[in-house]
Amino acid sequence: MIKKIAFLGTAIAMATAVAMPAAAQFSSAVNEAKTTQNEAKRSQQTIDRLDDQTSELLNEYRANLKQFELLSRFNKTRAAEIESQKNQIGRVQEDLENVGTLQLAMLPLMEDMLDDLELFVAADTPFNENERDERIARLRTVMADSNQTAAQRYRLIVEAYQIENEYGRTVESYEGEIDAPEGALSVEFLRVGRLALIYKNADDSILRIYDPAAGDFVDLSKSFLDDVRFGFRVAKRQTAPALLTVPVKAPAQVQ
């Protein structure tokens, strides 16, 4: 019995001796597997991080490529505009070179235009004489002012012509003084275009019309008084415009 026990103890000791290396190997294998798993996890994290960076760089590259395409198209458009502006600059430079010659031709022309305007006003029906004379005097001052450009002078002269032209299409009333056979009178004038210039006094006892042939005002029949009064209301915008009877001499036949 003692032998059997001794043998059994020996067998257990031998089994333990054999089992201990296997356990150590298993533990080592487990540790190695854990280490490999951790390294694989770290590698996967590195791969994921690199993949995110790659995606970010790819998106940035695509955005930069799109921006480059837009800038290229923008530069092409601007290049065409710059070329057009260069051509315009060339034309402007040519115009500037001709300005001196143009001004030499314009100044005499404007002087002639102003002289003709002054002669026309002097020969025209004598309405708004002070206003028209003052306008011409201002134009004379402008023509003598070296600070005024040729363009400014020309514009003012053309405006004066336009004002004179407008007189022929409007009806106007205004008050003024006139030297009449009775002496100085305060009267009210009615201008119907350039067809008629009429004046009357406050109590309508005097009614006269300008006669170009006589170069002066002559008496007008009182039969036209109602038409004259209506003309004043139209001029003052107190009634709607309508047909107005105006005494006008028939044009003489040229022989």
Beta bridge partners of 187: 176
Q: Which residue has the higher pLDDT, 173 or 245?
A: 173
Q: What is the pTM of this model?
A: 0.58
Cα–Cα distance, 252 to 219 (Å, whole number): 21
Regarding predicted confidence, which is higher, 89 or 118? Answer: 118
pLDDT-derived band at 140, boundaries 50, 70, 90: very high
pLDDT at 250: 61
Q: How crowded is the C-beta side of 224, counted as CA atoms within 13 Å?
A: 20
Q: pLDDT tens digits, residue range 149-174?
A: 888 999 999 999 999 999 999 999 99
Enter the tokens of residue 162: 């336009």
Residue 7: the pLDDT is 46
The pLDDT > 90 percentage for the chain reads 44
What is the DSSP-derived secondary structure letter of residue 249? P
